[in-house]
Structure 1
Amino acid sequence: MEATMQSKQQPQAKQFKTIPILVSLLLAGFIGMFSETALNVALSDLMTVLNITPTTAQWLTTAYLLTLGILVPISGLLLQWFTTRQLFVAALSFSIAGTFIAAMAPNFEFLLMARIVQAMGTALLLPLMFNTILVIIPPEKRGAAMGLIGLVIMVAPAIGPTIAGLLISNLSWHWIFWLSLPFLVIALICGILFMQNVSEVTKPKIDVLSIVLSSFGFGGIVYGFSSAGEESGWSSPKVIIAIAIGVIALVLFAIRQLTMKQPMINLRAFKFPMFTVGVLMIFICMMVILSSMLILPMYLQQGQGYSAFKAGLLLLPGGIINGLMSPLMGRLFDKYGPKWLVIPGLVVVAVSLWFFSSITATSTVIFVIVLHSALMIGISMIMMPAQTNGINQLPLEYYPDGTAIMNTLQQVAGAIGTALAVSIMTSGTKNYMKTVTDAADPSNVLAAFTHGVQNAFIFGMIMAVIGLIVAFFLKRVVIQHKSQAPMH
């Protein structure tokens, strides 16, 4: 059975025009990630121009994450209902429409709507990209291919803030989107010309209740945690109710998936221990990276008084190093497996965050660049090896489910990580202010903010240590595509 499965798979893999397909996917993915992070640097500028509060501005990120949290779980189902070409064209069409609306946006409401439309494109594109690569690349070369994705996905967020800072200081925030638009159109044309249908359309039955439970579950948790970063914090009824609804809906969703013959997301993927460990590693890693990526630029701008452009420049070396390391890590993973990359990677991340927890207003530029670069090297050693090793253990028919689970939990981890970091930073700042006599003194305000930021980095370090404990359970997966599960 195994021999026939593999003999079926091999000639099929050779028929694909791998390079043009990869170029189309990676170009679209790069621009999606670029506009996602470029806007973060523009938030303080947008608050002034659009006359909105920080809490309102945060919704530009929250609405994006919320849309991803609701749509990505359904992607496994969409991959089985529509062809690769149809989904690619749909994803790019949403991205182009959203980017165009954002570039033209006269006010906050239009910009928020544009972010939701953009997120619909990203929600379709991310799982499609991973699933397509899993189908067209043979397992023994998969580490290098995932390393290439890592290069693209990590360089975009690295250069996003720098380019955004440059555009804001010379033109306006609208140009972040005008710059992205031609590249998205080129990616769409490449896709129309070269994209091939790689997955089988099986059109499984659509279970409306599963979609509703998944939307309330993931949506409730993302919304609840994102809202916790607002002024009212964790005690707000809105936060408590949203998280409670999310947890209840997710429990019901999980029960329903495990009792259905044709589940929307096949949670039996968690039967495979290395997939479960991989998911845990990705979850922890996304919490660490997104929380520190939010806190660090904020401190560089507000605590050390740098402009958006200079803060972006300081973070550029680390992001580029991370991107360049990804293909190298991919090759090392193909050769040596995950354990010898992930464990040292987590040690590097934990140590970097421990040093970051001593950051002050007088910390030097070199201190920030060296530590941020070390943090990024550590992240590149963890993300791709853990992800690829986990997916490799799944049988072929579980690929859409595995990619849907990993991509969904990345969005949820991002929302949880940033919310926890912001609330830890805020409470640390408030607690410090209670101990000072003159609350209006600027030096006390800065010291309180610094104290809050240091606490947020300690939280990141604790998460990395938890990840390190989990990493000791990692084992290299030997790929054997047996028919271990009923076909979708």
Structure 2
Amino acid sequence: MKEKKYLITVVVMMVAAFISALNNVLLNNALPSIMDEFQIASFATTQWLTTSYMLTAGVLIPASAFFITRFKSRNVFLTALMLFNIGTILAYFSTSFSFLLVSRIIQACGASVLSPLLMNIMITVFDREDRGKAMGMYGFIIMFAPSIGPTISGVLIDFFNWRALFLMILPFSLICLIVGFFKVDSLLPVDIHKKMDYLSVVLSGAGLSAILLGVNQFSNANSNLLISIGIIVVGLILVGLFIKRQFSIGNPLLDLSIYKFPMYALSSILLALLAMLMYSTMVTIPYFLQKVQLQSVSISGLVMLPPSVASVIAMPICGRWFDKYGIKPMAYSGFSIILITTLALSQLTMTTSLLWIVLVLIVRNVGTAMIMMPIQAYGLNQLPDKLNPSGTATNSTIQQVFGAVGTSVVTIAMTSISSRQEISLQGQGQLAEKALLVAIDYSQYIFVGIAIVALVIAYFLKSKSMYKAPVLEV
């Protein structure tokens, strides 16, 4: 770290980012309880509590590059955390579903800025040669929250109710706000002449939200396929107009000149493929355990816990390996591990042991950790410092969009294959379970192909490549 005095600023922001990441996953287990309390008939309606959070982030993450560049990082942090606290308090006192939905959107307005801000702080206070270690620490925080979130929420809901989820995180969030007010410093350069291009905000927000909404609809069996495709097409058109505008105006919302750096562009492609590979497993394994092996929700959660912990432990270690060995061996090793474990998961049976699944997922998550933060550190190392806010915002958007794409791809594949298998397996026992098993196994081959493509692209990476500022001759 460049200056030890920055330590308290980094720690406070890391804790705040952890709280916001934890908040993002806590509510998943609470949706049935919320349905009962507010007497909501449709689960799809209740899911808007998570969908709205995702869509709000889709609007604000691209704009975070502007906020981080235009305003002091301290003020951005305090404003974002204040919004998050207001949303949390309102959510706790919600008296209707609509009130709770608005509260979640307010929460998301603050939370969506905290993660890109922390990443920019980390890559500023650490030298380029140590960014792997910095991103490993960042990954530890971001991955630790989802690994313990389901367990914490399950206990709180069983012993109290869904409101306890908001009450639990509020004291920690308020402490971060108070400490941040007195102790957090502004560490990033400020461009007071940068102006907000509101048309770009509308185009990026509406476009990304439409893509995420359309992709999300594919996961809903009751959705109209043509309408979902239409929403995605509209979203792609709006994003295309957004991209065109960024290159045609002098003060872009998101500086897409980052893609003039070839190694950053390659890192973005690999990050997108990795996001699809990660989120596909999050869907298929719990579905296999609950719908094929008929395990309980709690057993399913316990199976996913050790792999999550393994990835959390591996993140800082892999960050140091990246600093020492460079990106190429990390990418080769990581994607090879993912490829082998994906093939292993394509051989699941009705009697596959839980221990075997846990071990495969642990190995797979270590492979993921070898790529996830190192590839982002590598990409940002290709950029001049002034482009870091655009680079981090783009990385966050890529993960969100392509994670949703990966989820929908595997859902569509499983639904389609399962329907055909039910016809061919007519007359056999456990018809639905066997059809789902075949669908889950076959769907893995899609991601085998994605892992192979990633390995091919990784060949073109330059292991120790790093941006060097031009030397001015005097």
TM over 0.5: yes
Specify the alignment match of 1:313 in structure 2.
Answer: 302
Query: How many residues are aligned here?
Result: 469
- Superposition deviation, residue 163 in structure 1: 1.9
Between 277-286 and 58-67, report the one with greater CA deviation: 58-67
Distance 1:97 1:428, change over 3 A: farther
Between 91-100 and 132-141, report the one with greater CA deviation: 91-100
Between 326-335 and 135-144, report the one with greater CA deviation: 135-144
The alignment status of 1:99 with 2:92, answered yes or no, reads no
- Superposition deviation, residue 274 in structure 1: 1.2
Within 1, Cα distance between the matches of 2:339 and 2:35? 34
Q: Is the 8 A contact 1:330 1:385 kept in 2?
A: yes
- Letter of the aligned partner of 1:25 in structure 2? M
Specify the alignment match of 2:111 in structure 1.
Answer: 122
Within 1, Cα distance between the matches of 2:35 and 2:188? 44
Within 2, Cα distance between the matches of 1:112 and 1:76? 26
**What residue ranges of structure 2 are gaps of 5+ in the alignment?**
none
Q: For residues 312-391 of structure 1, what are the structure 2 equivalents within 5 Å? A: 312-391=301-380
Distance 1:200 1:267, change over 3 A: same
- Letter of the aligned partner of 1:22 in structure 2? V
- Superposition deviation, residue 141 in structure 1: 1.6
Within 1, Cα distance between the matches of 2:444 and 2:34? 27
Specify the alignment match of 2:435 in structure 1.
Answer: 448
Within 1, Cα distance between the matches of 2:450 and 2:224? 20
Within 1, Cα distance between the matches of 2:245 and 2:11? 38
Within 2, Cα distance between the matches of 1:117 and 1:138? 35
- Letter of the aligned partner of 2:469 in structure 1? K
- Superposition deviation, residue 174 in structure 1: 2.6
The alignment status of 1:22 with 2:10, answered yes or no, reads yes
- Superposition deviation, residue 478 in structure 1: 4.1
| 2:77 aligned to which of 85, 88, 106 | 88
Within 1, Cα distance between the matches of 2:353 and 2:32? 23
Distance 1:366 1:466, change over 3 A: same
Counterpart secondary structure, 1:216: helix
Q: Is the 8 A contact 1:274 1:477 kept in 2?
A: no
Within 1, Cα distance between the matches of 2:48 and 2:385? 38
Listed one character per residue, the Cα deviations across residues 50-89 of structure 1 (whole Å, up to 9, x for unaligned) are 5443433433332221111111011111112221111111
- Superposition deviation, residue 472 in structure 1: 1.3
- Letter of the aligned partner of 1:36 in structure 2? N
- Superposition deviation, residue 455 in structure 1: 3.6
Specify the alignment match of 2:426 in structure 1.
Answer: 437
Between 183-192 and 141-150, report the one with greater CA deviation: 183-192
- Superposition deviation, residue 197 in structure 1: 0.8
Listed one character per residue, the Cα deviations across residues 446-476 of structure 1 (whole Å, up to 9, x for unaligned) are 2222233334433333322222221111112
Counterpart secondary structure, 2:124: helix
Specify the alignment match of 1:241 in structure 2.
Answer: 230
- Superposition deviation, residue 171 in structure 1: 2.7
Specify the alignment match of 1:8 in structure 2.
Answer: none
RMSD of aligned Cα (Å):
2.2
- Superposition deviation, residue 387 in structure 1: 0.6
Within 2, Cα distance between the matches of 1:42 and 1:362? 30
Q: Is the 8 A contact 1:20 1:190 kept in 2?
A: no
Q: For residues 151-170 of structure 1, what are the structure 2 equivalents within 5 Å? A: 151-170=140-159
- Superposition deviation, residue 323 in structure 1: 0.7
Between 140-149 and 184-193, report the one with greater CA deviation: 184-193
Q: Is the 8 A contact 2:425 2:435 kept in 1?
A: no
Counterpart secondary structure, 1:17: helix
Identity %: 33
Within 1, Cα distance between the matches of 2:206 and 2:4? 38
The alignment status of 1:214 with 2:204, answered yes or no, reads yes
| 2:453 aligned to which of 444, 466, 483 | 466
- Superposition deviation, residue 408 in structure 1: 1.3
Q: Is the 8 A contact 1:329 1:380 kept in 2?
A: yes
Counterpart secondary structure, 2:348: coil
| 1:224 aligned to which of 191, 207, 214 | 214
- Superposition deviation, residue 268 in structure 1: 0.9
Between 345-354 and 53-62, report the one with greater CA deviation: 53-62
- Superposition deviation, residue 322 in structure 1: 0.6
Specify the alignment match of 1:301 in structure 2.
Answer: 290
| 2:131 aligned to which of 142, 145, 161 | 142
Q: Is the 8 A contact 1:165 1:312 kept in 2?
A: no
Q: For residues 173-212 of structure 1, what are the structure 2 equivalents within 5 Å? A: 173-203=162-192, 204-212=194-202
Superposition TM-score, scaled by structure 1 size: 0.90
- Superposition deviation, residue 103 in structure 1: 3.1
- Superposition deviation, residue 47 in structure 1: 5.0
- Superposition deviation, residue 25 in structure 1: 1.4
Q: Is the 8 A contact 1:65 1:415 kept in 2?
A: no
Q: Is the 8 A contact 1:161 1:309 kept in 2?
A: no
- Superposition deviation, residue 43 in structure 1: 4.0
Q: Is the 8 A contact 1:89 1:191 kept in 2?
A: yes
- Letter of the aligned partner of 1:20 in structure 2? I
Listed one character per residue, the Cα deviations across residues 342-362 of structure 1 (whole Å, up to 9, x for unaligned) are 111111112112211222342
- Letter of the aligned partner of 2:452 in structure 1? V
The alignment status of 1:76 with 2:65, answered yes or no, reads yes
- Letter of the aligned partner of 1:96 in structure 2? N
Within 1, Cα distance between the matches of 2:110 and 2:348? 38
- Letter of the aligned partner of 2:9 in structure 1? I
Listed one character per residue, the Cα deviations across residues 362-400 of structure 1 (whole Å, up to 9, x for unaligned) are 221101210111111011001111110110010111111
Listed one character per residue, the Cα deviations across residues 13-58 of structure 1 (whole Å, up to 9, x for unaligned) are 7456222112111111112222222333444555556544343343
Listed one character per residue, the Cα deviations across residues 185-232 of structure 1 (whole Å, up to 9, x for unaligned) are 222223223211112221312222211211222122111111122224
Distance 1:102 1:293, change over 3 A: farther
Specify the alignment match of 1:108 in structure 2.
Answer: 97
Q: Is the 8 A contact 1:214 1:249 kept in 2?
A: yes
Distance 1:353 1:174, change over 3 A: farther
Specify the alignment match of 1:397 in structure 2.
Answer: 386
Between 121-130 and 424-433, report the one with greater CA deviation: 424-433
Q: Is the 8 A contact 1:141 1:334 kept in 2?
A: yes
Q: For residues 402-421 of structure 1, what are the structure 2 equivalents within 5 Å? A: 402-421=391-410
Within 1, Cα distance between the matches of 2:445 and 2:91? 36
- Letter of the aligned partner of 1:206 in structure 2? M
The alignment status of 1:479 with 2:469, answered yes or no, reads no
Counterpart secondary structure, 1:236: helix
- Letter of the aligned partner of 2:392 in structure 1? T
Specify the alignment match of 2:251 in structure 1.
Answer: 262
